[in-house]
Structure 1
Amino acid sequence: MNLTDIFKDSLKYPISDMTKFSIFGIVMLLSALGSLSFGNAAIDGILVIISFVALIISLGYGIAITRSAIEKSDEIPDLNLETTIVDGLKMVVLSIVYYIIPTIIVIILAFATGLFDYVVEILGYLNQYGPEFANMIPDDLILSMMSSAAITMLVAFILMVIFSFLYYMGVCRLAKYNSLSAGADIPEAARDLKKVGIGRVIGWAVLLVILIFIFNLIGGFIGLIPYVGVLISGFLISTYISFMIYRSVGLLYADI
């Protein structure tokens, strides 16, 4: 399938079964409860636990959606709690495996470029003279910090993009082989990325970002509705975006 067909399918897919869409929508709403605070430690703690469990379920269901796409099935999968929670926990491990490497590299680079040292030195000036006397900080120190920060952020961005592409190949491998070891095999994920086509994956990512931006924009307007706007936006927009991401990457991978 070309990218146009992939996204046409992915945009229609979420609303092909509104019952299953609604069930997943409730899970997505529950996963957002952790962001609420009622000023009561017990209630807030319960909400965090509910949110965490729902997040695990949503990640696991993403694997089910991806697997369905790889198998070229048009049916939205049922939400099997046991399987979904297990797959969700695998997704957590998978995320750590793929993103720990670029994170470590960026931290090492920040030390190597002196970024942390510059920040500490600037904070020392602010503590000594106060924020209102920020002009006391030497210009060369500020420029050095900005240069180090720019280099670190640029490398961080490039690494995160590369490893995000690899991560989604890992997600597809986990869905296809139902194996965490297969999903976490970064060299094999890199080979799959090459098979899919780096250009196709970049095109997929660009189109996906544009669509997510548009849907989030719509969600922002819905969120302006008093009292229920945020809930409606979370239920509709977040759920729709999740379906679209996992469906589209599954279809992209299905061609290899």
Structure 2
Amino acid sequence: MSLTEIFNDSLKYPFSDMTKFCIIGIVMVVSSLGSLEIGNAIISSVLGIVAAVASIITSGYSVSVVKKALVKSDEIPDLDLRENIIDGLKMIVMLIVYYIIPIIITLIVAFATGFFNQYIEVATYASQYGSNFVNMVSEDLMMSLVSSAAITIIIGIILLVIFSLLFYMGICRLAKYNSLSEGADIPEAARDLKRIGIGKVIGWMILLFVIVAILTFIETFISSIPSVGILISAFLISTYNLFIAYRSVGLLYSAIE
């Protein structure tokens, strides 16, 4: 399938069964409860725990969406709490596996460029001289801090993009083989990336980013509605984003024989 076909399908897919869309939307609303300002520590803690469990469920459900896409089924999967919680926990493990590497490399780069030492030195000036610290710090130190920060950030972003692509391949492998070890196999995820075509996968990510950015822009206005805005945006936008992202990546991965 071309990217146009993939996204045409994915954008329409959530509307094929509005009952199931609403069910997942409700779970999404529950997962957003932790962001509400209640003003009571105990209630906030309880809502936070409930929201965390709901987030695990939605993460696991996304794997079910990918499974349907891999076989090009137009059916929206049912909510299966046991299966979704298990897959959600697997997703958490995979997040650690895939993102620990870029985090470590970025930290090494930060140390190698002297970013942390320079930052501490500038922070020391700030604590001593307040807002006037800018006039006290040498130009060489500021230039070194800016350059080391720029190098660290650029490398960090590049690594984040690369491992995000690999992570999505890993999710597809998890859905295809129903195995955490297969999903967390980074070398095989990289081979799958090459089999699909790196250019095509990058194109998919760019298009997905544009769509999500547009939806996020709309979500900003919805979320500004007093009291219920966050809940409405979770029900509509977050749910729609989930279906689009995981339906599209599943269809993309289905090209691998």
> Corresponding residue for 1:109?
109
Structure 1 runs not aligned, ≥5 long: none
Q: Cα RMSD (Å) of the superposition?
A: 1.1
> Corresponding residue for 2:161?
161
Using the TM superposition, give the Cα deviation of residue 151 of structure 1 relative to its aligned residue in structure 2, in angstroms.
0.3
1:134 and 2:134 matched: yes
> Corresponding residue for 1:33?
33
Using the TM superposition, give the Cα deviation of residue 133 of structure 1 relative to its aligned residue in structure 2, in angstroms.
3.7
Q: Deviations over 1:60-113 (max 9, x none)?
A: 000000011001110000000000000000000011000000000001110111
SS at match of 1:75: coil
Using the TM superposition, give the Cα deviation of residue 253 of structure 1 relative to its aligned residue in structure 2, in angstroms.
0.1
Query: How far apart in 1 are the matches of 2:74 and 2:133?
Result: 63
Question: Which residue type is aligned with residue 211 of structure 2?
Answer: L
Q: Deviations over 1:104-147 (max 9, x none)?
A: 00011101110000110001101111224432111111110000
Sort the Cα spacing of 1:239 and 1:91 in 2 relative to 1 into closer, same or farther, 3 A.
same
Q: Deviations over 1:154-204 (max 9, x none)?
A: 100110111011000000000000000000001100110000100100110
Query: How far apart in 1 are the matches of 2:132 and 2:16?
Result: 58
Query: How far apart in 2 are the matches of 1:160 and 1:226?
Result: 35
Query: How far apart in 1 are the matches of 2:95 and 2:5?
Result: 28
Structure 2 runs not aligned, ≥5 long: none
1:12 and 2:12 matched: yes
Q: Deviations over 1:221-247 (max 9, x none)?
A: 233444433322221011001110000
Query: What is the TM-score when the length of structure 1 is the normalising length?
Result: 0.97
> Corresponding residue for 1:70?
70
Q: How many residues align?
A: 256
Query: How far apart in 1 are the matches of 2:44 and 2:229?
Result: 22
> Corresponding residue for 1:22?
22
SS at match of 1:130: helix
Q: Matched residues, percent identical?
A: 61
Using the TM superposition, give the Cα deviation of residue 38 of structure 1 relative to its aligned residue in structure 2, in angstroms.
2.2
Question: Which residue type is aligned with residue 111 of structure 1?
Answer: F
User: Where do 4+ consecutive residues of structure 1 move more than 4 Å?
Assistant: none
Query: What is the TM-score when the length of structure 2 is the normalising length?
Result: 0.97
